[in-house]
Amino acid sequence: METGANSRQSDAVTIRCLLRLTASFKAVSPLRSATAVQNGAAIRSTLYHHVSPRHSRIMRCLVTCGPSWEPIDRVRRLTNFSTGRLGLLLSAALADAGHEVLCLKGEAATAHGTVPGEILPFSTNDDLLAKLQAQAGRAGAIFHAAALCDYRVKSIHAEHGDAVLGAAKIPTRSGNLKLELEPTVKVLPQLRALFPAAKIVGWKYELDGTGDDVIDRALRQIAECATDACVVNGAAWGDGFGFVVPGKAPVPLASGEELGKFLCRWLRGEK
């Protein structure tokens, strides 16, 4: 008689084989349309969620963490301050709970360490999006905690008016520079199409406003990006973190460790 543990292991092997088979479709036609990418994601997501036994609650989880960067020239960058520590902590908590974890970590993150899973570095917003697209449909949960750049350089002009964008290293003799910035690609709003059946959690780090303002922004993010929940933190929220879902009171969590344990319980459907 097959035990529960052996049954789950057998199911996991079956799921991995099916997912690898569907992932190999893109090798046949690497130049696929956006519709084909979404259709493939939907097929893989359906396989993942319906072949997997519901009672096991074991998922393949993607965690993004750390900062992205956008180039000014080949030696200077725009970036955000983010250590990536929380994402590593969360990845470890998910792995300890039995989940398969892929941590996509900004290459400029200052936190270091290993987690029981794969760590895949990313650079720019576009680079992260491409790596998430390569995983389309192959995750049961996504925790998007990365601190991504909101702007990138559109043009650079010296004070005399000449354009200098594209220089390998802009010399200081160029004098004062005027940088024109434009919005970067937004990753979170694109995740639902890539992972149709996954649980998706976004992040809101806010410095201005009140706690109620932060909750309103989190709920707006959930509605606009079709996510399931939002983790909030920052000076506007106060100490620790808050877990926000529509229709329920925010759950306060005192530390990153407490947040990791809570999110594992949430994935299992526990209150």
Q: pLDDT tens digit string along 174-230?
A: 788 999 999 999 999 999 999 999 999 999 999 999 999 999 999 999 999 999 999
pLDDT class of 271 with cuts at 50, 70, 90 = low
Cα distance between residue 93 and residue 111, in whole Å: 16
Burial of 120 (0-12, 13-18, 19+ CB in 10 A): middle
Domains defined for the chain, CATH in brackets? 30-149+186-267 (3.40.50.10300), 152-182 (no CATH)
Its sign, for the CA torsion 108, 110, 114, 115, is: negative
CA distances, 142 to each of 77, 145, 211, 222, 230 (Å) = 27, 9, 25, 14, 11
Most confident of 5-14, 17-26, 108-117: 108-117
Q: Which pLDDT tens digit goes with each residue over 38-94?
A: 454 445 444 444 444 333 478 999 999 999 999 999 999 999 989 999 999 999 999
pLDDT at 168: 86
Q: Does the structure show a pLDDT above 60 at 269?
A: yes
The pLDDT of residue 164: 76
Percent of the chain with pLDDT over 90: 66
Q: What is the pLDDT of residues 130-154, one digit of tens each?
A: 999 999 999 999 999 999 999 999 9
The 3 state secondary structure assigned to 30-69 is CCCCHHHHHHHHHHHHHHHHHHCCHHHCCCEEEEEECECE
Reply yes or no on whether the pLDDT at 21 is more than 90.
Answer: no
Cβ atoms < 10 Å from Cβ of 75: 9
Q: How far apart are CA 129 and CA 132, in angstroms?
A: 5
Res. 96 pLDDT band, cuts 50 70 90: very high
Q: What is the pLDDT of residues 101-133, one digit of tens each?
A: 999 999 999 998 888 889 999 999 999 999 999
pLDDT at 175: 84
Q: How far, CA to CA in Å, does 215 sit from each of 118, 190, 205, 226, 271?
A: 33, 22, 11, 16, 20
Q: Cβ(55)–Cβ(98) under 8 Å? A: no
Q: Is residue 22 within 8 Å of 47, Cβ to Cβ?
A: yes
Give the number of other CB atoms < 10 A from CB of residue 173: 6
Are 138 and 123 contacting, i.e. CB atoms less than 8 angstroms apart?
no
* Residue 134: strand, helix, or coil: coil
Question: Which tokens sit at 99?
Answer: 């989940």
